[in-house]
Structure 1
């Protein structure tokens, strides 16, 4: 796709988080003015320390559930804890972040005729009965489970986006993000890549849930950010939802063995019961992203895990 040279004033909610911090850096590199908004509930100032000296970067500590008043051309709504440990800690607030946050960014976009992108999730598919998951699949989601605050919150946010588009003409984009990994992941977020690296590097037992035969598809963070930027820069008629993720499927036990070998750890594999509503399979159908955005992942799992290994090894050395 052609490079976009227009300089925009861009708001990134959740901008100090794992994905948000990488997105802020990319947008600055592309020549935009960036406003990073974050309440630091599950993120870290360290993720954006290197950006604070940039003349086009502004950091605002604020919750996305509070009214937004800045003037912007584009909005990326990434604000929401994305790991079960964080979003289940305060499930009511998680729902508020998803729903009130969506309403606030949509209201801001409507007032300033700005484009707004919702960072939705593969969790809208729940424990899928269709594999791989295309955007046309409506999902298999429990509205009353322990993960529902996140899953149903994200589904409601998508509803709000499309209703604002139909009712008010708001220029929306919706990305459904599948498992993403890389530097700036929270070391204690409970997600499988960070869990395995931190346990292996500390010499602790590596915890697998169920029999370890469930599958996930892992996309390196730079590939995911490229997909988000391409979706935002795409023609207005491309609203999404568009799946962004890596279609290469991997069993969780295979990932654990890879990380054990990579870290040269003597950790043992131990098995715990599968958490409630945890999906057995997760793999995106990215046909739409390939066709509309000319996007697909480029970074191999081998290379991406190597970069991630260096990041977590650095954290353990500094501790």
Structure 2
């Protein structure tokens, strides 16, 4: 039984939409067209190599892995597909025991089984070395699909044994299309402004877009811009721009007041403010020299917050430095 079938048996309103609408085949995947085409050719030629998927969260890495299993094994895919999350099971024992036991176990009718190791960049170096040897030992009857956020954290001997696929953040059109399809399927009215807000808040992350849609849909009959920004604790782009422009114009008190609104009233974390500043910096109506100066200040604040400094102090210092240079 598929995830969609399982979720249909759940009480109304309690389905998790990211699972209910998870694509089950290559045709259902939104975005990543070039990657999907290459993966489809592997399956059609029955020539599946070890694979390494890298990229940010919510862009289709896990979905692509399960779609491969469904295409290769059909209804029997669960018996020939082992999924492990390396962030929970990081030790070398997992590689030596669970993976080896699955790779050794007998199966009928197929040339190989698939082991999907999610968040593989969380594996220790020793575990990755053990995984490399396991990949060699069971290459005759097992294919590995590794998923990670940062391929640079995967040791070179593993990367050289895999076909590497780099998943990019999904396009706004891909996110918009799936959100529209889900809203239509669920009978939800989404305004054009609300749709724009969902796409903006998602920032290329389909999982975030779907979760935000489901959360916003519980607040009323219509999903509009206000509901989306409230649910996602995201500032409107114009709020961020007004805050920065006030600081650049030397009005530190006004900029600080707007920052206070974002942190207290909107409930944003300092890191979220930094992320939105970084995303929007080149869209502000600023000259190039000022934008470069802003990016430099954003980098400094981000580094200090990551190192454990107080978020509000660093953000106020960022605005103060912009105001002081005028």
TM-score range, shorter chain: 0.3 to 0.5
Structure whose CA Rg is larger:
2
Give the alignment's TM-score, normalised by structure 1: 0.32
Q: Larger RCO: Structure 1 or Structure 2 (Cα < 8 Å, ≥ 6 residues apart)?
A: 1
Larger proportion of strand: 1
| Structure with the larger helix share | 2
- Using the size of structure 2 for normalisation, the TM-score is 0.32
